[in-house]
Structure 1
């Protein structure tokens, strides 16, 4: 059971200078290819998440560099590179020597594209997106924050396991890259001693394409085109021959299959309930506490957003109830009335700075949502600290597992307590940022952000004060916007921190140093 701790509503001015001014939509993260700060030769011994041991993933045995077949591959590579165009060279620079970032950006773009709430039908009724009929209308998915957190978690975890497997085989066979085998072959990026077989880029292209296709089925053709473009660029860098790519694709196929098996049974299909189930959840909360959240939209949606997301399988927490916070203040209690006064004071004294903070962290419809916001931060840190692809995937895997687990815990609390939002109980009260279609307690922004900040502070200790300041600002932004009570933000921040600890326990024991 989580307990409340005092919440420091500290606003750290200027802390957002590190990140791009444009954060509502994913933007191309421009960076020069760099020399990795380390290559993690022992990465193949790290503990994966979806599979037991990387050696259980089967690939073909690598050809020896002296074999005639390999020499033929080198000749084919040279011919392929001799036909490169200016567009090919641009593609090589776009994908770069850390394509973990590029595939994460592609995921953020898709989240923003599909983060559009289905509108009402002409008769005032609503039709929910269906994975069985992704064309709709409305189109599937609605990439709301819980959906985004899940998509990013499966993508990142699959990338991590696939790259652990790739590293295992790289250092089993130790095949040098073509440009190291033949001095006449140039290399597009900074030289490295990481073996070429299997290709980490091919691993990422295949596993990313398959996971994202499952999450965004209407983008299947587009994702196939992206995979083909990525593989073509890899074949022209001078770093890989065809058998390197083939082995990488085999790993990607097998890890994607493991990830999608888990996704098929994690409970997400039942997260969006029928009206009857939704009403029963609401009645149970009223009988338990004497209050209930009501949707104030016109026309009102019959069901809140994903009432059973709190029952989806967590990555690193066995029982969601173990992370459920204490009950919020009773309506009309002294603590409740104190919060009413705080919100009214903010509304009467709305400054440009408060409005800026509320708007910056809004992450509403048409954006990559709060989970995406923290992925953007992670990508910039990955570049700053020159992580190799394996360590980058590890960073994003732990970040997104923590964020998804935190979201599940938050949604469990939201629908268990079913607490009204300020506009429902404060007469005449208005928000400056709209009102989400789910209960108030606890704040999703606060929970997602606190969990994300804890992981980034663990992996990038030099940035701990910065990211924790961002999490506090994200939390108070929802209070400034009139969307949440201060105790939603306070307890939500505590909740995110506590849930993230489960992921950090796992990270500390995976065999990799921080």
Structure 2
């Protein structure tokens, strides 16, 4: 057993050592900024999980002339007068758009837990178990399906919570402390968004709750980050305690609703037992006369999440309605032509092809392909100077589309159970590993196409750029020898098709 674990650890070290700077998600140069717009009517936008913005009842705050509020102001001023260096650093870190910061934290956790569980001494595998997160192996294995789901629930809960917060902000219109008392200096760029309830508090509590459920071994770390974030909201001069308490109330309700959905979405059954996995494989062989075989060493007995394709989607009613056309038969001219294409890439590998394959690899120890697109979105959000509500909207729609696309992709993978090039081309070798799931369609292609379409909708000036990136991500898997060209091209069309369902919802949510 020790030898096997040493081998796996060595592979992980090599992967991490060769990963690009893109795999370190923190933006050290990201600072607070003046919002392009305040979205005063944001409380009227359509939420995803809540029936409407008023589904959570928040009482009217104390008026600013009240004894209670003035006591909060004095307490705040006392705390600010005694601020220390660590607290100043925390204020600088959280900025005035913590959607980006909490997304970074999620990406860091995904990368940390994106490690394949090793084999037992007898060659068997023990799967990560949420009821025993300490393991071994530790829970979770943050593979792409797990990652896209964690990011979707995080983003949707943030979005719904902020819609509710925005509604009450403009219903009660209580100004921020620094707007009421000239002796309070605001740490960030001033804005006219009311302070009650605190949008930052919504983000802090929602993010802590969702990410703790997804990464239970990080509960202590996440609570620490939440506490630092909540404290920074006070010390920045932007909120008093009652602002924060109201935001936490919204967050607790929203995160409970989100986690109830998560507990019943089918993900707990996605990693099916061997008997179920074998029956899926046999059904594909009976339908098509082919089957994917795992060629990893050592071989894991079950493919990765065979039933992820049955997880509840966000904006598509029936996964079969978006299932792509069948791949080419193994005795067809189209298949034989593709064999020659892959052989030609392998025999004439260029530095450019290799660099593209490596850049988009997003394998072990990284934040996966969904995380890669979250990083792009974060950069666009900061560049566009979006406020937290509009930032959360961007992330929610993109991550719902990515998750729906991933579910559709995994449905196709295990329905068609198509073999990978390494299985059917004699002597063929990849430069990018051997994934533990069938070939058709390409996950990178589907994830990337879905993400790029939502980003093109939200940032139309970047549409050519992001669609070009998606096509490069798709072909990168062909360069790496992981996929057939039709895995990539059909997968790209599939991701775009699935994303349109989410875009159609977004167009009617009241934000445009």
TM-score range, shorter chain: over 0.9
How far apart in 2 are the matches of 1:80 and 1:27? 29
User: How much does 1:155 deviate?
Assistant: 0.0
Query: 1:509 — aligned with what?
Result: 508
| Structure 2: gaps spanning 5 or more residues | 1-18
Q: What secondary structure is seen at the aligned counterpart in 2 of 1:235?
A: helix
Describe how 1:217-296 pairs up with structure 2 within 5 A: 217-296=216-295
How far apart in 2 are the matches of 1:494 and 1:362? 20
User: How much does 1:471 deviate?
Assistant: 0.2
Runs of 4+ that moved beyond 6 A: none
Query: 2:62 — aligned with what?
Result: 63
How far apart in 2 are the matches of 1:399 and 1:229? 28
1:303-348 deviation line (CA, Å, top 9, x unaligned)? 0000000000000000000000010000121000000000000001
Does 1:403 pair with 2:402? yes
**Contact 2:20 2:359 (8 Å CA) reproduced:** no
Query: 2:346 — aligned with what?
Result: 347
How far apart in 2 are the matches of 1:25 and 1:120? 28
**Contact 2:178 2:186 (8 Å CA) reproduced:** yes
Query: 1:13 — aligned with what?
Result: none
Q: What secondary structure is seen at the aligned counterpart in 1 of 2:300?
A: coil
How far apart in 2 are the matches of 1:60 and 1:214? 29
Does 1:135 pair with 2:128? no
Does 1:488 pair with 2:493? no
1:226-263 deviation line (CA, Å, top 9, x unaligned)? 10010111110111001000000000000000100100
Query: 2:433 — aligned with what?
Result: 434
1:158-198 deviation line (CA, Å, top 9, x unaligned)? 00000000000000100000011111110000000000000
How far apart in 2 are the matches of 1:447 and 1:71? 54
Q: What secondary structure is seen at the aligned counterpart in 1 of 2:139?
A: coil
How far apart in 1 are the matches of 2:261 and 2:421? 38
Q: How many residues align?
A: 494
Query: 1:186 — aligned with what?
Result: 185
How far apart in 1 are the matches of 2:114 and 2:456? 28
Query: 1:297 — aligned with what?
Result: 296
* TM-score, structure 1 as length reference: 0.95
How far apart in 1 are the matches of 2:44 and 2:333? 55
How far apart in 1 are the matches of 2:328 and 2:101? 45
User: How much does 1:300 deviate?
Assistant: 1.4
Query: 2:6 — aligned with what?
Result: none
How far apart in 1 are the matches of 2:25 and 2:111? 8
For the aligned residues, what is the CA RMSD? 0.9
How far apart in 2 are the matches of 1:297 and 1:173? 60
Q: What secondary structure is seen at the aligned counterpart in 1 of 2:23?
A: coil
User: How much does 1:32 deviate?
Assistant: 2.4
| Structure 1: gaps spanning 5 or more residues | 1-19
Query: 2:13 — aligned with what?
Result: none
User: How much does 1:29 deviate?
Assistant: 4.6
How far apart in 1 are the matches of 2:377 and 2:369? 13
Query: 2:7 — aligned with what?
Result: none
**Contact 2:374 2:395 (8 Å CA) reproduced:** yes
Query: 2:146 — aligned with what?
Result: 147
1:202-245 deviation line (CA, Å, top 9, x unaligned)? 01000000000000001111111110010111110111001000
How far apart in 2 are the matches of 1:276 and 1:126? 15
Query: 1:16 — aligned with what?
Result: none
User: How much does 1:30 deviate?
Assistant: 2.0
Q: What secondary structure is seen at the aligned counterpart in 2 of 1:23?
A: helix
How far apart in 2 are the matches of 1:442 and 1:230? 41
Query: 1:125 — aligned with what?
Result: 124
Describe how 1:360-439 pairs up with structure 2 within 5 A: 360-439=359-438
User: How much does 1:299 deviate?
Assistant: 2.5
Query: 2:40 — aligned with what?
Result: 41
1:453-498 deviation line (CA, Å, top 9, x unaligned)? 0000000000000000000000000000000000000000000000
